Amino acid sequence: MFANLSDRLTASFKQLRGRGRLSEADIDATVSEIRRALLDADVALPVVRSFTANVRERAKSAEVSGALNPAQQIIKIVNAELVEILGGQARDLHMAKQPPTVVMLAGLQGAGKTTLAGKLGLWLREQGHTPLLVASDLQRPNAVTQLQVVGEQAGVAVWAPEPGNGVGDPVAVARSGVQHARDKLYSVVVVDTAGRLGIDAEMMQQAADIRDAVQPDETLFVLDAMIGQDAVTTANAFAEGVGFSGVVLTKLDGDARGGAALSVRGVTGKPVLFASVGEKLSDFERFHADRMASRILDMGDILTLIEQAERTFDAGQAEEMAAKLAGQGDFTLQDFLGQLNQLKKMGSMKKMLGMLPGMGQMREQLENFDEREVDRVEAIVHSMTPAERNDPKILNGSRRQRIARGSGTTVAEVNSLVERFEQAKTMMRQMARSGGKGVPGMGMMPGGGKKSKGRMAPPPKKGKKGKSGNPAKRAQQEVELSLKTGARPAAGASFGLGGAVGGGQAQDLPDLEELQKYLR
Q: Tell me: do 258 and 328 sit in the same domain.
A: no
Tell me the CATH number at 445.
Answer: 1.10.260.30
Residue 345 lies in a domain: yes
Distance CA 86, CA 80 (A): 10
137 is in an annotated binding site: no
Q: What is the residue range of 209's domain?
A: 101-299
- 485 belongs to an annotated ligand binding site: no
- Of 37, 55, 86, the one marking the end of a domain is 86
* Amino acid letter for position 278: G
Was 243 annotated as part of a binding site? Answer: no
β-bridge pairing 188-192 and 157-159: unpaired
193 annotated as a binding-site residue: yes
What pLDDT score does 144 carry? 92
Asked if residue 250 belongs to a known ligand binding site, the reply is: yes
Does the annotation list 110 as a binding residue? yes
Question: Which CATH number covers residue 13?
Answer: 1.20.120.140
pLDDT recorded at residue 300: 54
CB 510 within 8 A of CB 353: yes
DSSP class per residue in 144-160: HHHHHHHHHHHT-EEE-
pLDDT along the chain (520 residues), means of 10: 68 69 78 82 81 83 62 78 77 88 89 90 92 92 92 93 87 94 94 80 86 92 78 80 87 67 77 85 82 68 62 64 64 78 68 62 64 81 88 88 90 88 76 52 37 40 49 56 45 33 40 49
Q: Is 195 annotated as a binding residue?
A: yes
Q: Last residue of a domain, which of 299, 325, 348?
A: 299
Q: Are residues 322 and 198 in the same domain?
A: no
Is residue 320 one of the residues assigned to a domain? yes
Is the peptide bond between 458 and the residue preceding it cis, with omega within 30 degrees of 0?
no
Q: Residue 470 domain-assigned?
A: no
pLDDT reported for residue 391: 86
Known binding residue 251? Answer is yes
Which of 253, 250, 272, 254 minimizes the C-alpha distance to 262? 272
Q: How many CB atoms lie within 10 A of CB 286?
A: 16
